[in-house]
Amino acid sequence: MPNIVFGASYSGYVMMWDVRVKNTPIEKTCAAKNGHNHPIYSLTVVGSPNAHNIISVSNDGRLCMWSPGMFNEPKKYIDLRNNLYQDNDPLCNINAHCIAFAKGETNTFFLGSEDYNIYRSELHS
């Protein structure tokens, strides 16, 4: 997919461009109830060239997994929580600023957060 570019916006949308077609997005996420409500600070593509997902994180404490071609609702979402706090404590949200997967890894990821910590977690736990 050398002609496909994914990007994220300050308003919480994930967008997809095909640079062969035009310079406006060919696809954009909707304002889904399980999507992002704050700026997306990082996104990455995980999987193989034939089967992949777009992973986005925001400082709203949410990770979303999107399927290309199905941007109306996230395929999966995870509310990022720090287990050191009580579940109903608003301090337990991890306000992510970046995400990284090791090369070839599709499950375990690392988050860099607003509280200057790095968290390790899994998409499918």
Convert the pLDDT of each residue in 50-100 to its tens digit.
Answer: 888 999 998 888 899 999 888 888 999 988 877 655 555 555 678 888 999
Q: What domains are defined for the chain?
A: 4-122 (2.130.10.10)
Token digits of residue 68: 């290309």
What letter would DSSP give residue 40?
Answer: E
| Structural contact between residues 29 and 66, judged by C-beta atoms closer than 8 angstroms | yes
pLDDT tens column, 54-67: 999 988 888 999 99
Cβ atoms within 10 A of the Cβ of 88, count? 6
pLDDT of 103 > 70? The answer is: yes
pLDDT tens column, 11-22: 888 999 998 987
CA-only gyration radius of the chain, Å: 15
Q: Shortest CA distance to 9 belongs to which of 41, 34, 31, 32?
A: 41
Whole-prediction pTM: 0.84
Q: How far apart are CA 28 and CA 36, in angstroms?
A: 13
Q: How far apart are CA 97 and CA 36, in angstroms?
A: 13
Q: Which residues of 16-27 are buried (b: 16+ CB within 10 A; e: fewer)?
A: bbeeeeeeebeb
Residue 48's pLDDT band, with cuts at 50, 70 and 90, is confident
